Structure formats: C-alpha cells, structure tokens
Amino acid sequence: MRRLFAATFLTLATMASPAGSAAREVAAERYPLACVYFRRDLDPYEQCARRADGMVRVAPAHVARMRFERGLAELRVPGIGCLWMRRDGLALPVFMLDNGPDPFEQGLVRSWRDGKVAFYDRRLRLVLATPYDWAFPFNPRGEALVCEGCRSDGRQPASMVGGRWGLIDRTGHLVLPLAETDAADRRYFNRR
C-alpha cells in the first residue's frame, strides 16, 4: 500500500511540476484526440488517441480504464466516429449503428478502406476489401447486400438510394449481379 501511495504521490507531484507539465504536453502531442468510453460513462477524455495508418491507437492509460467484452471495447473519437478497440490499444473505425459501433455479424464488422466498404474480423484484421460504395452485414446465408453508385439520402437515419445493387458471398464474389432492380434486396431480406 505504501508503494502504491508513494507512486501515486510521485505521479501527482510530477504532474504539478514544470517537468510534469512538459510530460502532459508530450502526451498531448502523442495522443491529440479525445475519446468517449462506452459501457462506462460518456464523458470525453482528452489526450486519449491518435491516428495510426487508417486505424487509431489509444493511450495505454485509457486502455486500462475501459471495459472489454470478448476481447474488445467500444469507443467513440470525435471527428472519427465509433470504433472497436483491442486490449493492445489498436482501434478500428467502423460504421455507426444506433449511436454505437456496428455490431459483428457472422464474425465480421463493416468499415471503410480506401473509400470503399471492407469487412474485418474480431481481431480487427482485414478479411475482405470490396469495390462497393455501401454494404449491409453478412446475413445467416453468408450474403451481403452491396451497391455501386448509391448515396445517402441525407436524412437521419439515412437510407441508401440509387445505384446498382447485388449480393456477394464471404469471398467477395457476386452471387447476384449488380442491377438497378430490387431483386437483390428481396433475396437479402428474404422477401419473395
């Protein structure tokens, strides 16, 4: 207990000193983005994260405070969106669904890669990069509804309109060709 108290006192003393101020400035440079934790509170925390090659890296002190379920924690970074984060602090920006990160469906989650939809596994590894502008999650039959040339209608919640729609399998191959009809939509949602 004395060691813990002494370490805490030393940390607080360091933060109050000019050298502590320099340490905070370095931390702010290394982790300039604020975060909001899900499943704990919704308060913003400064000096929490930084961009890292299309992903986000979260500061170790913040990783230690988060609640993990099945190896992942939910996080929001203003200006980036909702993310899933691993215990090592690496986080993937994903689609937002109902004010939180897109859930994993059939073991995969949707994200963006080079402006197109991509699917990642629970270890946040890229499984499938697609050439499509939008995709729904994979359904229990292993099909995802995708579109090319569609766009958001701008409403909240948004709908995707226009374009050509088709179905892909988990390898990315078209199982129902892109078309301007609702055939893919009906099959995906199992409406005859």
- How many domains does the structure of the chain reveal? 3
> How many Å apart are CA 131 and CA 172, to the nearest integer?
9
Q: Kindly state the helix (H) or strand (E) to which residue 63 belongs, with its residue range.
A: helix 60-63
pLDDT (tens digit per residue) in 58-87: 999 999 999 999 999 999 999 999 999 999
Residue where a domain stops, chosen among 103, 118, 142 = 103
Residue 24 and residue 52 share a domain = no
pTM of the model: 0.81
Nearest Cα residue to 35 out of 51, 22, 19? 51
Residue 89 and residue 140 share a domain = no
The answer to whether position 52 is within a domain reads: yes
Containing structural domain, residue 24: 1-30
Query: In the numeric block, which tokens belong to residue 149?
Result: 């040339």
Greater confidence (5 vs 179) lies with 179
The answer to whether position 114 is within a domain reads: no
Residue 96 and residue 140 share a domain = no
Angle, nearest 10°, between helix axes 2-16 and 18-30?
90
Residue 84 and residue 35 share a domain = yes
pLDDT (tens digit per residue) in 89-109: 999 999 988 878 999 999 999
The answer to whether position 51 is within a domain reads: yes
Residue 89 and residue 69 share a domain = yes
Query: In the numeric block, which tokens belong to residue 120?
Result: 């990642």
> How many Å apart are CA 69 and CA 40, to the nearest integer?
12
Residue 38 and residue 24 share a domain = no
The answer to whether position 119 is within a domain reads: no
Greater confidence (28 vs 150) lies with 150
The answer to whether position 122 is within a domain reads: no
Residue 99 and residue 58 share a domain = yes
Residue 51 and residue 17 share a domain = no
> How many Å apart are CA 92 and CA 77, to the nearest integer?
11
Average pLDDT over residues 15-35: 62
